Structure 1
Amino acid sequence: MAVAAACLAACGKVPPVTDADLNPVNGLADVPRWDPAWSGTQMGEMVGQAGAVPCHGYVDLVAPSDDGTGARLEGWAWNVAASAPFPSVIVTDSDGSIRGAGTTQVVRKDVSAAMPAVVTEDRVGFIAFADAPPEGLVVYGFDNSDDTYCRLDSN
């Protein structure tokens, strides 16, 4: 994953996410329908036995949400084992409690351009929201069709 971060650093500044990149649902980006039920649950209790898979990805931004009630996280996630983007991301606090989620649907041409032999699709970017302060949050790429996940790098 450090290689992925280095490739993207060489590409220059990450393009900002615009409102056109979001699929509005009540003014927020889509979040997986399973998110509310999982909030506060330990991630280890919710994922199946399939477990961790190799991935590339990076959390580019962790900032207070616009309304100040939590955090907004942006980045990208690629499932190496599936040769596809992770469909979702899960956000946990440092203790492993699920605090939010998001979907991987944002176009990130900078990622596919930096890693064309690995990342073969443009929709690898994510926007996620968490109901916790930005400090200490951890993001995992997650595929709920087979319960596989991977922790993403961050600053």
Structure 2
Amino acid sequence: MSDVLFNTSLFDEFDRLQRQMSSVFGGLPTSIRASRFSAFPQINLGSTDDSVEIVAFAPGIDPAKIEVTVDKGLLTISGERAGVESPSEGRAYAQERFAGSFRRAIELPRDADPDKVKARYVNGCLAISVGKRETSRPRTIAIQ
């Protein structure tokens, strides 16, 4: 075995390494619940024979402040979510509700028809249906 001398204790070295790593990856959440890695609003995306179905979970947003656009095969959901006022006394030590402007872009499949888009906002969910082109729908070929 070799004798290794440290000027400081091993735990001090780990603390120093942790501080350095924190400065490199600064701003990362310290817990899963505080994570901001996912985009807002969260979405579910699916497809039927006739349409592409998108559900964006956006509670607490005025539907008049949401904009849905389709351009060059990209569906964009944008808007702004108002913040919630903090208690008049004391300081907040955790904030998990997102507030501010947002923008979410979703690439549509090639068979989506940008002229057949419908959107509705119900109970905090923005449901968007994008129809498919007639040529892309499944069809049965008669054999002669």
TM over 0.5: no
| Higher relative contact order (Cα pairs below 8 Å, separated by 6+ residues) | 1
User: TM class by shorter-chain length?
Assistant: under 0.3
Greater C-alpha Rg: 2
